[in-house]
Structure 1
Amino acid sequence: MFGISPLGWIHTIGSLPAIPVALYMFARHGRIVPRSPLGVVYFVSMLIGAVTVFLVAHQLVSFVIGAVTILLLLAGYGIERILGPARVAGYIETVCLSLSAFLLMLPTVTEILRRVPDGHPLVTDLKSPLLLGAQGSLLVILVVGLTAQIVYLARRGRVAANW
Protein backbone atom coordinates (compact mmCIF):
# COMPACT_ATOMS: atom_id res chain seq x y z
CA MET A 1 0.00 0.00 0.00
CA PHE A 2 1.30 3.46 -1.00
CA GLY A 3 4.49 1.80 -2.26
CA ILE A 4 5.95 1.60 1.25
CA SER A 5 8.14 -1.35 2.26
CA PRO A 6 7.72 -3.12 5.61
CA LEU A 7 10.79 -1.28 6.91
CA GLY A 8 9.29 1.93 5.54
CA TRP A 9 6.16 1.29 7.61
CA ILE A 10 8.31 0.85 10.74
CA HIS A 11 9.96 4.18 9.94
CA THR A 12 6.60 5.87 9.32
CA ILE A 13 4.71 4.43 12.28
CA GLY A 14 7.71 4.90 14.59
CA SER A 15 8.03 8.59 13.82
CA LEU A 16 4.31 9.32 13.52
CA PRO A 17 3.65 10.07 17.23
CA ALA A 18 6.07 13.00 17.05
CA ILE A 19 3.64 14.97 14.87
CA PRO A 20 0.63 15.27 17.22
CA VAL A 21 2.94 15.52 20.24
CA ALA A 22 4.84 18.44 18.69
CA LEU A 23 1.62 20.15 17.59
CA TYR A 24 0.17 19.79 21.09
CA MET A 25 3.28 21.15 22.79
CA PHE A 26 3.50 24.09 20.35
CA ALA A 27 -0.16 24.91 21.00
CA ARG A 28 0.00 24.41 24.77
CA HIS A 29 3.50 25.66 25.62
CA GLY A 30 4.63 27.56 22.53
CA ARG A 31 7.58 25.20 22.18
CA ILE A 32 8.67 21.59 22.54
CA VAL A 33 9.24 20.90 26.23
CA PRO A 34 12.02 18.31 26.44
CA ARG A 35 11.80 17.62 30.18
CA SER A 36 8.21 16.41 30.16
CA PRO A 37 6.52 13.07 29.48
CA LEU A 38 5.45 14.27 26.03
CA GLY A 39 8.98 15.54 25.46
CA VAL A 40 10.24 12.00 25.99
CA VAL A 41 7.66 10.65 23.51
CA TYR A 42 8.77 13.30 20.99
CA PHE A 43 12.45 12.45 21.47
CA VAL A 44 12.01 8.68 21.12
CA SER A 45 9.67 8.97 18.15
CA MET A 46 11.93 11.47 16.37
CA LEU A 47 14.96 9.31 17.05
CA ILE A 48 13.21 6.25 15.58
CA GLY A 49 12.33 8.23 12.47
CA ALA A 50 15.75 9.83 12.10
CA VAL A 51 17.69 6.59 12.58
CA THR A 52 15.48 4.43 10.36
CA VAL A 53 15.64 6.95 7.52
CA PHE A 54 19.15 5.62 6.86
CA LEU A 55 17.62 2.20 6.17
CA VAL A 56 14.80 3.33 3.89
CA ALA A 57 16.05 6.45 2.11
CA HIS A 58 17.12 6.49 -1.51
CA GLN A 59 18.25 10.11 -1.84
CA LEU A 60 21.19 11.96 -0.33
CA VAL A 61 18.91 14.71 0.96
CA SER A 62 17.13 12.15 3.15
CA PHE A 63 20.40 11.09 4.75
CA VAL A 64 21.29 14.73 5.38
CA ILE A 65 17.89 15.45 6.95
CA GLY A 66 18.23 12.37 9.16
CA ALA A 67 21.73 13.30 10.34
CA VAL A 68 20.83 16.95 10.98
CA THR A 69 17.68 15.88 12.84
CA ILE A 70 19.73 13.64 15.15
CA LEU A 71 22.19 16.47 15.82
CA LEU A 72 19.36 18.93 16.54
CA LEU A 73 17.69 16.47 18.90
CA LEU A 74 20.89 15.80 20.80
CA ALA A 75 21.66 19.53 21.02
CA GLY A 76 18.12 20.46 22.03
CA TYR A 77 17.83 17.78 24.68
CA GLY A 78 21.41 18.08 25.93
CA ILE A 79 22.20 21.80 25.95
CA GLU A 80 20.90 22.40 29.46
CA ARG A 81 23.16 19.64 30.78
CA ILE A 82 26.13 21.39 29.19
CA LEU A 83 25.31 25.03 29.95
CA GLY A 84 23.01 24.59 32.93
CA PRO A 85 19.90 26.75 33.21
CA ALA A 86 21.61 29.68 31.46
CA ARG A 87 19.36 31.92 29.40
CA VAL A 88 21.20 31.08 26.19
CA ALA A 89 20.46 27.38 26.77
CA GLY A 90 16.73 28.11 26.50
CA TYR A 91 17.24 29.82 23.16
CA ILE A 92 19.40 27.00 21.78
CA GLU A 93 16.99 24.35 23.05
CA THR A 94 13.97 26.09 21.52
CA VAL A 95 15.62 26.74 18.15
CA CYS A 96 17.04 23.22 17.84
CA LEU A 97 13.78 21.48 18.71
CA SER A 98 11.69 23.75 16.47
CA LEU A 99 14.07 23.04 13.60
CA SER A 100 13.76 19.31 14.33
CA ALA A 101 9.97 19.60 14.01
CA PHE A 102 10.40 21.42 10.69
CA LEU A 103 12.68 18.63 9.48
CA LEU A 104 10.00 16.14 10.50
CA MET A 105 7.24 17.94 8.64
CA LEU A 106 9.14 18.71 5.43
CA PRO A 107 9.57 15.09 4.29
CA THR A 108 6.21 14.13 5.83
CA VAL A 109 4.29 16.62 3.69
CA THR A 110 6.40 15.76 0.65
CA GLU A 111 5.81 12.03 1.01
CA ILE A 112 2.09 12.42 1.63
CA LEU A 113 1.65 14.53 -1.48
CA ARG A 114 3.75 12.08 -3.52
CA ARG A 115 1.86 8.96 -2.31
CA VAL A 116 -1.77 9.96 -1.68
CA PRO A 117 -4.20 8.97 -3.04
CA ASP A 118 -2.73 5.53 -3.60
CA GLY A 119 -1.97 5.00 -7.27
CA HIS A 120 -2.82 8.59 -8.27
CA PRO A 121 -0.74 10.91 -6.07
CA LEU A 122 -1.42 14.63 -5.93
CA VAL A 123 2.21 15.32 -6.88
CA THR A 124 4.37 13.38 -9.32
CA ASP A 125 7.10 15.99 -9.87
CA LEU A 126 9.34 17.46 -7.16
CA LYS A 127 8.96 20.85 -8.86
CA SER A 128 5.16 20.75 -8.66
CA PRO A 129 3.64 24.08 -7.62
CA LEU A 130 1.51 22.28 -5.01
CA LEU A 131 4.56 20.65 -3.43
CA LEU A 132 6.68 23.80 -3.57
CA GLY A 133 3.80 25.79 -2.09
CA ALA A 134 3.38 23.31 0.76
CA GLN A 135 7.11 23.33 1.49
CA GLY A 136 7.19 27.13 1.29
CA SER A 137 4.28 27.31 3.73
CA LEU A 138 6.20 25.12 6.18
CA LEU A 139 9.17 27.47 5.87
CA VAL A 140 6.98 30.50 6.58
CA ILE A 141 5.50 28.73 9.63
CA LEU A 142 9.04 27.97 10.83
CA VAL A 143 10.24 31.57 10.44
CA VAL A 144 7.14 33.09 12.06
CA GLY A 145 7.10 30.47 14.81
CA LEU A 146 10.79 30.80 15.66
CA THR A 147 10.50 34.59 15.69
CA ALA A 148 7.55 34.40 18.09
CA GLN A 149 9.39 31.92 20.32
CA ILE A 150 12.53 34.06 20.47
CA VAL A 151 10.53 37.22 21.21
CA TYR A 152 8.67 35.38 23.97
CA LEU A 153 11.91 34.09 25.51
CA ALA A 154 13.47 37.56 25.36
CA ARG A 155 10.44 39.18 27.02
CA ARG A 156 10.27 36.48 29.67
CA GLY A 157 13.97 37.02 30.40
CA ARG A 158 13.49 40.77 30.81
CA VAL A 159 10.55 40.27 33.16
CA ALA A 160 12.57 37.82 35.26
CA ALA A 161 15.53 40.24 35.35
CA ASN A 162 13.29 43.05 36.66
CA TRP A 163 12.12 41.02 39.68
Structure 2
Amino acid sequence: MFGISPLGWVHTLGSLPAIPLAVYMFARHGRIVPRSTAGTLYFISMLIGAVTAFVVARQPVSYGIGAATLLLLLAGYGVGRVSILGRAGRYLETVFLSLTAFLLMVPTVTETLRRVPDGHPLVTDPKAPLLLGSQVTLLAILVIGLTAQLIHLRRLDRLALETGPGKTNIR
Protein backbone atom coordinates (compact mmCIF):
# COMPACT_ATOMS: atom_id res chain seq x y z
CA MET A 1 0.00 0.00 0.00
CA PHE A 2 1.35 3.43 -1.07
CA GLY A 3 4.62 1.73 -2.04
CA ILE A 4 5.84 1.71 1.56
CA SER A 5 8.01 -1.14 2.84
CA PRO A 6 7.41 -2.74 6.27
CA LEU A 7 10.34 -0.76 7.67
CA GLY A 8 8.87 2.33 6.01
CA TRP A 9 5.66 1.73 7.96
CA VAL A 10 7.67 1.52 11.20
CA HIS A 11 9.25 4.86 10.27
CA THR A 12 5.92 6.42 9.31
CA LEU A 13 3.84 5.13 12.20
CA GLY A 14 6.66 5.72 14.69
CA SER A 15 7.05 9.38 13.77
CA LEU A 16 3.37 10.12 13.10
CA PRO A 17 2.41 10.80 16.76
CA ALA A 18 4.87 13.70 16.81
CA ILE A 19 2.55 15.75 14.57
CA PRO A 20 -0.50 15.95 16.88
CA LEU A 21 1.81 16.23 19.90
CA ALA A 22 3.56 19.24 18.37
CA VAL A 23 0.23 20.82 17.40
CA TYR A 24 -1.05 20.29 20.95
CA MET A 25 2.02 21.85 22.56
CA PHE A 26 2.09 24.78 20.12
CA ALA A 27 -1.60 25.46 20.82
CA ARG A 28 -1.40 24.96 24.58
CA HIS A 29 2.06 26.35 25.43
CA GLY A 30 3.07 28.28 22.32
CA ARG A 31 6.10 26.01 21.90
CA ILE A 32 7.28 22.44 22.30
CA VAL A 33 7.80 21.84 26.02
CA PRO A 34 10.42 19.11 26.47
CA ARG A 35 9.90 18.52 30.18
CA SER A 36 6.26 17.47 29.90
CA THR A 37 4.49 14.21 29.14
CA ALA A 38 3.65 15.41 25.62
CA GLY A 39 7.26 16.57 25.24
CA THR A 40 8.60 13.16 26.25
CA LEU A 41 6.29 11.40 23.80
CA TYR A 42 7.29 13.90 21.10
CA PHE A 43 10.97 13.14 21.76
CA ILE A 44 10.42 9.37 21.47
CA SER A 45 8.36 9.69 18.30
CA MET A 46 10.82 12.09 16.67
CA LEU A 47 13.74 9.89 17.67
CA ILE A 48 12.09 6.88 16.01
CA GLY A 49 11.44 8.92 12.87
CA ALA A 50 14.92 10.44 12.69
CA VAL A 51 16.80 7.19 13.30
CA THR A 52 14.70 5.10 10.91
CA ALA A 53 15.02 7.78 8.22
CA PHE A 54 18.55 6.55 7.60
CA VAL A 55 17.25 3.06 6.80
CA VAL A 56 14.31 4.02 4.58
CA ALA A 57 15.84 7.04 2.82
CA ARG A 58 16.03 6.88 -0.96
CA GLN A 59 17.42 10.32 -1.68
CA PRO A 60 20.58 11.98 -0.33
CA VAL A 61 18.56 14.92 1.01
CA SER A 62 16.71 12.49 3.28
CA TYR A 63 19.95 11.63 5.08
CA GLY A 64 20.59 15.34 5.64
CA ILE A 65 17.09 15.90 6.99
CA GLY A 66 17.43 12.87 9.27
CA ALA A 67 20.80 14.01 10.60
CA ALA A 68 19.67 17.61 11.09
CA THR A 69 16.51 16.45 12.86
CA LEU A 70 18.48 14.18 15.15
CA LEU A 71 21.02 16.90 16.02
CA LEU A 72 18.35 19.57 16.60
CA LEU A 73 16.25 17.16 18.67
CA LEU A 74 19.15 16.24 20.94
CA ALA A 75 20.28 19.87 21.17
CA GLY A 76 16.73 21.05 21.89
CA TYR A 77 16.26 18.57 24.71
CA GLY A 78 19.76 19.12 26.09
CA VAL A 79 20.19 22.90 25.94
CA GLY A 80 17.59 23.54 28.64
CA ARG A 81 19.74 21.60 31.07
CA VAL A 82 22.76 23.87 30.58
CA SER A 83 22.32 26.32 33.45
CA ILE A 84 25.09 28.68 32.32
CA LEU A 85 22.89 29.77 29.38
CA GLY A 86 20.18 31.12 31.68
CA ARG A 87 17.09 32.37 29.84
CA ALA A 88 18.90 32.04 26.50
CA GLY A 89 18.58 28.28 26.92
CA ARG A 90 14.81 28.52 26.66
CA TYR A 91 15.09 30.56 23.46
CA LEU A 92 17.52 28.08 21.92
CA GLU A 93 15.34 25.18 23.05
CA THR A 94 12.34 26.79 21.35
CA VAL A 95 14.21 27.43 18.09
CA PHE A 96 15.77 23.97 17.94
CA LEU A 97 12.53 22.12 18.68
CA SER A 98 10.47 24.25 16.30
CA LEU A 99 12.98 23.39 13.60
CA THR A 100 12.46 19.68 14.34
CA ALA A 101 8.73 20.11 13.78
CA PHE A 102 9.46 21.87 10.48
CA LEU A 103 11.86 19.11 9.42
CA LEU A 104 9.15 16.58 10.23
CA MET A 105 6.48 18.37 8.23
CA VAL A 106 8.46 18.97 5.02
CA PRO A 107 8.98 15.27 4.21
CA THR A 108 5.55 14.38 5.60
CA VAL A 109 3.78 16.78 3.25
CA THR A 110 6.08 15.90 0.35
CA GLU A 111 5.63 12.15 0.73
CA THR A 112 1.89 12.45 1.27
CA LEU A 113 1.43 14.49 -1.91
CA ARG A 114 3.66 12.07 -3.85
CA ARG A 115 1.84 8.92 -2.62
CA VAL A 116 -1.83 9.82 -2.08
CA PRO A 117 -4.21 8.73 -3.45
CA ASP A 118 -2.64 5.32 -3.89
CA GLY A 119 -1.81 4.72 -7.54
CA HIS A 120 -2.72 8.26 -8.63
CA PRO A 121 -0.75 10.68 -6.45
CA LEU A 122 -1.55 14.40 -6.41
CA VAL A 123 2.06 15.18 -7.36
CA THR A 124 4.41 13.21 -9.61
CA ASP A 125 6.99 15.90 -10.39
CA PRO A 126 9.28 17.22 -7.62
CA LYS A 127 8.91 20.69 -9.16
CA ALA A 128 5.10 20.60 -9.24
CA PRO A 129 3.50 23.91 -8.17
CA LEU A 130 1.38 22.18 -5.49
CA LEU A 131 4.45 20.60 -3.89
CA LEU A 132 6.59 23.74 -4.09
CA GLY A 133 3.72 25.87 -2.79
CA SER A 134 3.23 23.49 0.13
CA GLN A 135 6.91 23.65 1.01
CA VAL A 136 6.99 27.47 0.79
CA THR A 137 3.88 27.58 3.01
CA LEU A 138 5.62 25.41 5.60
CA LEU A 139 8.64 27.73 5.51
CA ALA A 140 6.39 30.77 6.00
CA ILE A 141 4.67 29.06 8.94
CA LEU A 142 8.11 28.36 10.44
CA VAL A 143 9.29 31.96 10.10
CA ILE A 144 6.05 33.48 11.39
CA GLY A 145 5.68 30.88 14.14
CA LEU A 146 9.24 31.22 15.38
CA THR A 147 8.95 35.00 15.40
CA ALA A 148 5.73 34.78 17.43
CA GLN A 149 7.29 32.27 19.84
CA LEU A 150 10.35 34.43 20.46
CA ILE A 151 8.22 37.56 20.97
CA HIS A 152 6.06 35.62 23.42
CA LEU A 153 9.10 34.37 25.36
CA ARG A 154 10.48 37.91 25.47
CA ARG A 155 7.18 39.20 26.87
CA LEU A 156 7.19 36.49 29.52
CA ASP A 157 10.74 37.45 30.50
CA ARG A 158 9.78 41.14 30.76
CA LEU A 159 6.71 40.27 32.79
CA ALA A 160 8.83 38.16 35.14
CA LEU A 161 11.18 41.12 35.66
CA GLU A 162 8.27 43.52 36.26
CA THR A 163 6.55 41.19 38.70
CA GLY A 164 9.61 40.40 40.75
CA PRO A 165 9.48 39.87 44.51
CA GLY A 166 6.88 42.05 46.23
CA LYS A 167 5.05 43.08 43.05
CA THR A 168 1.69 41.83 41.89
CA ASN A 169 0.75 40.74 38.44
CA ILE A 170 -2.54 42.31 37.36
CA ARG A 171 -3.61 41.62 33.78
TM-score over 0.5 (shorter chain): yes
**Amino acid aligned to 2:108:** T
Match in the other structure for 2:76: 76
Could you say what secondary structure the match of 1:81 adopts?
coil
Instruction: Tell me, in whole angstroms, the C-alpha distance in 2 between the residues paired with 1:84 and 1:120.
Output: 54
Counterpart in the other structure of 2:32: 32
- Pair 1:126 & 2:126 matched: yes
Q: Which residue of 1 aligns with 2:100?
A: 100
Taking the aligned partners of 1:24 and 1:126, their CA distance within structure 2 comes to: 31
1:8 aligns with 2:8: yes
Letter in 2 for 1:158: R
Count of equivalent residues: 163
Instruction: Please list the CA deviations of residues 67-86 of structure 1 after superposition, one character each: whole Å capped at 9, or x if unmatched.
Output: 00011111110012223571
Counterpart Cα distance in 2 of 1:155 and 1:80:
19
Higher helix share: 1
Does residue 112 of the first structure (1) align with residue 105 of the second (2)? no
**Structure possessing the higher radius of gyration over alpha carbons:** 2
> Where does structure 1 lack aligned partners over 5 or more consecutive residues?
none
**Alignment-derived partner of residue 137 in structure 1:** 137
**Cα distance in structure 2, aligned partners of 1:67 and 1:84:** 27
Residue type of the alignment partner of 2:64: V
Structure 2 residues without counterparts, runs of 5 or longer: 165-171
Deviation at 1:158, TM superposition (A): 1.1
What secondary structure, in the 3-state scheme, does the structure 2 residue paired with 1:35 have?
coil
Identity of aligned residues (%): 70
TM-score with structure 1 setting the length: 0.98
Distance (Å, rounded) in 1 between the aligned partners of 2:81 and 2:155: 24
Counterpart residue number, 2:45: 45
Quick one: distance in 1 between partners of 2:107 and 2:129? 16
